[in-house]
Structure 1
Amino acid sequence: MPPGRWERCFWSWGLLLWLGVESTGDVLPTPQTKCTDFQNANLLRGTSLRVQFLLFTTSDPSCGQLVEESSDIQNTGFNATLETKLVIHGFRALGTKPSWIDKFIGTLLQATDANVVAVDWVYGSTGVYFSAVENVIKLGLEISRFLSKLLALGVSQSSVHIIGVSLGAHVAGMVGHFYKGQLGRITGLDPAGPEYTRASLEERLDAGDALFVEAIHTDTDNLGIRIPVGHVDYFVNGGQDQPGCPIFIHAGYSYLICDHMRAVHLYISALENSCPLMAFPCTSYKAFLAGHCLDCFNPFLLSCPRIGLVEQGGVKIEPLPKEVKVYLQTTSKAPYCVHHNLVEFYLQEPRNRDTCITVTFLGSNVTSSVKITIPRQHRHGKGVIAHPNPQCQISQVKLKFQASHRVWKKDRMTIIGKFCTAPLPVNDNSGYPSRAGTMNDSPSKACGIQSSV
């Protein structure tokens, strides 16, 4: 992949990865165990591949045990009967330890009893992005050699789960490719886009690299890849412009990295399991918001995928489909999850102009709104509204008819129709509509509505 194609991207990637990771201090060793922290590199040291494999276990989740030789593995807390999870960071422009790594590992070990191996390749990922890309194959080979030592100790290929962040997602794909797709699982957290969007399957992460491959996309219009690369691809908030992230370039570092790193923070939140991050298959984000994708029957039958450690993302169908785009909305801060609801309005009589109605859900001092548009000469309009509270905890539903600016006061009219709402996924056998209301009444009343504007 000639670097000339990406000369225009170099500035943003180079500046970007001041990718802000402040190095934390070394973990204090216990009397029994020597603890090793991530390395720090700088631009003058070049991009030699000095890889460290740091083992973390539930017995001491803050202590990274350096593993170099097979004998070292046997002298650590490594347990071959448990799952093994490798965490691979991405490009590090300033050669610093990822600021998210400690919390990520700690949360992972709280969620499951496993061997967690952090792959420290700060030296090989520092400086120029294109040099880091050139190190991907070398790093993939080195990780594969390390894995072969674990397999020799009795670890099964299907129990290996690799979690790769940004460029690290393609490293994970390379390792999976070397093992002919027989590793258990790969999770790509906003896989890197530059140099990979047009790459071959052998060069980037794809669904053939593990028994189950998933990817969480949060920055497809900048640093993340915009194409599906797994069995299930989560396009969060459409895959770009995450809530709470700066939208203006003068925000500097936050503008460059916030969307890209949101995938990491979403995954941490999912590991904490405070609420489900469930997604729905659809042809596009626009179609999802318009209420055209209300369940997961096609292609997942009755199981909707969700972010986290649940087996195969909760997808139970076999064989697994590939490159399925699924969509979900989130809030702007942890725990990020929302409950998606279908909202519909049925006019009693069609009108000669478009009818726009804003639906607002209120609950726990949080307000969410969506606009329903009913085309002229049609009676029905729908959409999807997201709120942090489940529908049973919504205290009030408001409907507001948006009159055309051409309508004079003397033309005041009465809009008569029916409003209905149901939580997603909508089951055709669930007795839908589940809740209904009027513009001024509780939404638990009958599915009838009358209002004058």
Structure 2
Amino acid sequence: LVKLWLLIFQCMFWHLIPKVKKCPEFTDLNIGNALSGTELQVQLLLYTRGNPYCSERLIEHNVTASEYLNTSKKIVFVIHGFRPTGSPPVWLGDIKELLLSSEDINLIIVDWNRGATTVNYVTAVENCRKVAEILKNYVDQMLVDGTSLDSVYMIGVSLGAHIAGFVGHKYNGRLGRITGLDPAGPLFTREPPEGRLDRTDAQFVDVIHSDTDALGFKKPLGTIDFYPNGGMDQPGCPQTLFGGINYFKCDHQRSVFLFLSSLKRRCDIIAYPCDSYLDYKRGKCVDCEAFQPMSCPVLGYYADRWKKLLISKSSPMKAYFDTSDQDPFCMYNYLLDITTWNKGIRRGFIKVKITDYAGNIVESVMNSEASTFQQYKRVKMLTGFYRDLDNISKISLTFTTKTLVGPKHKLRILQMRLKSLNNPER
């Protein structure tokens, strides 16, 4: 009887009960959807500082009906890539929160999970141009409402980087900026500039390559191309199949986490313009005087501070740097300059240990490439630490050949110098 009266009460006063607004969310699918395949559907979810937690879904043919879109502010699109499992990207919440806290912008999450979720990678690739066409339709309406192409910034992950490139190509490269986070390599490596992301697709194009030997794109694509740890194997990522699914995606995703780290501003990841990773490791590209007064470029969201300087150069720029194995990924680099006086040639590895006056000790990360030492010849090499020490009281070096057999040689040092690259005034 009580339940009956409650039911009658609800029916009589239903219209007086406040309705809870449901927030549009990123499409959440599963492996079953991937196996059966999904038809392309695109939704744009808008977040601003006025609605940071509950997105507003933009209406495709009536963008101006938006309650929160402010076309006088920067518009940042975030475009994900291939989704073989259908789940939302793990980094989605972080990039939304960090971008909105960094700047007062219109943040648009481009959800094409229906279309990207499939075990058939070719199908996802074919959908990229269709997504770009839909995005152009949205941008066209924003332009009519007062948006400037200069204020449009697209951040594309994997396939999303090429989608951003296709949109930029449709506007003849007049978009303000495109950031490509490890642009997809498979099925794109042989494409001409108009068939992939290219430096001509926006006024400024910065690219982070973190998996060039597998899922990423190896050659330069932007105004400036960053290659962390050489662009291939990232520290902390599994090196064998025993690492499970992480073995396949860890290096590829590292580009995203490096970009997120730049938004946290706990430390700046400095990159060194250079022709190759080998030259960088040999200490040939650590002089940033050509970039004064701004010094070397930094990775990530604030890379466009070097926009005017980089655009003025006729050819794309490659920049290399090393990282630690976990967030915030910063390394503290030193240039080690050694003169040896062994009569015979020595070949091996140097490890540096520094101690400050408080007794703190840090050890360098050993280079993967052996150095050659000759009598009275100076050798320069890059060495990095996961932690920075200021007032150094002691420097010690260890020399090893890493061989288990054969004679154990000592390296006789005539002179050595250690120079901080992060703090060159020391």
- TM (normalized to structure 2)? 0.85
8 Å Cα contact 2:266-2:328 kept in structure 1 = yes
Q: Is the 8 A contact 1:350 1:379 kept in 2?
A: no
Alignment partner, residue 333 of structure 1: 326
Is the deviation greater in 288-297 or in 49-58?
Answer: 288-297
Paired residue secondary structure (1:310) = helix
Deviation at 1:264, TM superposition (A): 0.7
1:48 corresponds in structure 2 to: 39
Give the Cα separation in 2 of the matches to 1:336 and 1:385.
Answer: 15
Q: Is 2:277 aligned against 1:285?
A: yes
8 A contact 2:259–2:301 mirrored in 1: no
Q: 1:187-206 maps to which residues of 2 (within 5 A)?
A: 187-206=179-198
C-alpha distance 72-207 of structure 1, shift in aligned 2 (>3 A):
closer
| CA distance in 2 between partners of 1:336 and 1:177 (Å) | 33
CA 1:394–1:168 in 2, change beyond 3 Å: closer, same or farther? Answer: farther
Q: CA deviation at 1:297?
A: 4.6
Pick aligned residue for 1:111 from 86, 97, 102: 102
The answer to whether the 8 Å contact 2:332/2:422 transfers is no
Q: Deviations over 1:102-129 (max 9, x none)?
A: 1111111111110000000001111111
* 3-state SS, counterpart of residue 338 of structure 2: strand
How far apart are the structure 1 equivalents of 2:264 and 2:45? 23
Q: Is the 8 A contact 2:74 2:152 kept in 1?
A: yes
CA distance in 2, matches of 1:315, 1:66: 33
Partner of 1:219: 211
Partners in 2 of 1:379 and 1:298 — Cα distance? 27
- Quick check: 232-241 or 69-78, which moved more? 69-78
- Alpha-carbon contact 1:47-1:131 (below 8 Å) kept: no
Offset of residue 416 of structure 1? 4.1
Question: 2:406 aligned with 1:418, yes or no?
Answer: no
Conserved? CA contact 1:370–1:384, under 8 Å: no
Correspondence for 1:392: 390
Q: 1:278 to 1:180 in 2, by over 3 A?
A: same
Structure 2 Cα separation of the partners of residues 109 and 226 of structure 1: 31
Query: What SS class does the counterpart of residue 384 from structure 1 fall into?
Result: strand
- Asked if the contact 2:80/2:110 (under 8 Å) is kept, the reply is yes
**Alignment length, in residue pairs?**
396
The structure 2 residue matched to 1:319, chosen from 312, 327, 335, is 312
1:184 aligned residue (167, 176, 180): 176
Once the two structures are TM-superposed, the CA of residue 399 in structure 1 deviates from its matched residue by 0.9
Distance 1:251 1:402, change over 3 A: closer
- 2:352 & 2:252 partners in 1: Cα distance? 30
Q: How does 1:16-415 map to 2 (within 5 A)?
A: 34-41=22-29, 42-43=33-34, 46-69=37-60, 71=62, 73-127=64-118, 128-297=120-289, 303-310=295-302, 312-317=304-309, 318-347=311-340, 349=341, 351-354=343-346, 356=348, 358-362=350-354, 366-370=362-366, 373-390=371-388, 392=390, 396-402=394-400, 407=407, 415=412
Deviation string, structure 1 residues 325-381 (Cα, Å, up to 9, x no partner): 10011110000011221011113x462222646232346664224467343345211
Distance, in Å, in 2 between the alignment partners of 1:386 and 1:222 is 26
Change (3 A) 1:86 1:174: same
Runs of 5+ unmatched residues, structure 2: 1-17
Larger mean CA deviation between 177-186 and 318-327 belongs to 318-327
State the alpha-carbon separation in 2 of the partners of residues 44 and 414 from structure 1.
60
Cα deviation, residue 280, structure 1: 0.4
Partner amino acid for 1:314?
W
Contact persistence 2:337–2:416 (CA under 8 A): yes
- Corresponding residue for residue 14 of structure 2: none
Shifted more, 210-219 versus 301-310: the winner is 301-310
How far did residue 47 of structure 1 move?
3.4
Q: d(CA) in 2 for partners of 1:426 and 1:276?
A: 12
In 1, the alpha carbon distance for the partners of 2:385 and 2:373 equals: 26
> Which shows bigger deviation, 267-276 or 40-49?
40-49
Q: Specify the code of the residue in structure 1 equivalent to 2:415.
A: K
- Residues 1:300 and 1:89: Cα distance change in structure 2 (over 3 Å): farther
Unmatched segments (≥5 aa) in structure 1: 1-29, 435-453
Structure 2: distance between partners of 1:188 and 1:251: 26
Give, in angstroms, the shift of residue 45 of structure 1.
Answer: 5.7
Provide TM-score, normalisation by structure 1. 0.80
Q: What is the rounded CA distance, in whole Å, between the counterparts of 1:87 and 1:136 in structure 2?
A: 14
Secondary structure class of the residue paired with 2:364? strand
CA contact (8 A) 2:353 2:397 kept: no
Query: Any idea what SS the aligned residue of 1:359 has?
Result: strand
Match of 1:451 in 2: none
Residue 54 of structure 1 aligns to a residue in which SS?
strand
SS in 1 for 2:175: coil
Q: Distance in 2 between matches of 1:260 and 1:297?
A: 32
